[in-house]
Each structure stands twice: as structure tokens, then as C-alpha cells.
Amino acid sequence: MISARENASYGGQARAQRFFNRPEMLKEWSSRGGKAVLEKYGREYFVELRRLRKHYPKYKNSEPATRPNWRREAAIENGRLGGIRRAELLSPECLKAMAREGGLATLERYGNEHFKEIRKKRRYYKKGYITARTKARVHREALQNAKETPGPLRYLWLAVANNFSS
């Protein structure tokens, strides 16, 4: 009884492994099952299943190089849909707080070097990309230079400070 429950979660994979040397028996079982499903749900059910299929081989008789783990793929898809749904339901402040907690957990787990490696792999930065921290630093330095510099250059430093004031 217990093994039947355990094997049932594999969707027939355990049975297929037991009878792998008798393919005619597996074909007969699958055709019976297909006929029963066809009788119960109709042709449209199979049309809908084909529409949802993810793997389409290039050639008729080609198989994927590795057998896809359907559970894993379904879990990934459900997780993606769950994230989209969460983004719809929760406020931006809540999402920002959750992202911050995730970043802190990553920092605690992998350390600062992890983020340095990610930054090294960046191929480009957004045009005009500048952080609030950098803006504040440039603003501070420009005001300091404006105080120290006499003459007309002082006004240029003040203009720079005004440009980075926000």
C-alpha cells in the first residue's frame, strides 16, 4: 500500500522501469489509457495538451538529449507565476523590503566578494547611471571646491553642486 502511494507520485515512471524489457505491454497499456481519456474528455482535450507542450523536437523521430524533469519544469513555471501574482498583489514598498532582505541574506551567505564578481561581469551600465550616494558625494565635493576656489571658477563649481543637489 505504501509503495503504491510512493510510486503513484511518479506518474507511471516506476511501472515503466519495471516493464522496460516488455515494450509491447507498455504500448498496450498506454493505448488503453489514451482511448479511455479520448472517450471521457474528447478530442479537444488532446488539442489543448499539445498547445501547452513545451518541447517540440526538430525532427519527427528526435528525442531531447536529456529527458526533461516535468516536475522541475512545472515547479519553475509555478514559481514564476507566483512571483508575478505576488508583484500584482503587494505594494512597491513591500516588494522593496523583500528584495532588500534577499540581498542581505545573499550578502550574509556569500559575502562582499560575490557582488564584486557580479559587477565585474557587467558589460555595460545604463546611460546616465549614477547612484544617490555618488550624487551626494559629488555635491559635497563641488561645494567644498567652490569654497576653496576664488574667481569665476567658483561659479562653475556651484553649478556642478546645483546639478547634483537632488
Regarding whether 115 and 78 lie in a shared domain, the answer is yes
Domain count, the chain: 3
Residue at 141: amino acid letter: E
Q: Which residues contact 84 (CB under 8 A, 6 or more apart)?
A: none
**Residue 112 structural domain:** 72-120
pTM here? 0.34
In a domain, 51, yes or no: yes
Asked whether residue 152 is domain-assigned, the answer is: yes
Which pLDDT band, with edges at 50, 70 and 90, does 9 fall under?
Answer: low
41 & 17 share domain: yes
Q: 141 with 113, same domain?
A: no
Q: Any residues with CB less than 8 A from the CB of 161 and at least 6 apart, and which? A: 139, 142, 143, 146
Residue-wise pLDDT tens digits, 29-73: 777 777 887 788 888 887 887 777 766 666 556 565 567 788 888
Rg (CA), the chain: 30
Could you give the CA distance from residue 160 to residue 55 in angstroms, rounded to a whole number? 56
Each residue's pLDDT tens digit, 101-142: 999 999 999 999 998 898 888 888 777 778 888 899 999 999
Residue 19 has pLDDT above 60, yes or no: yes
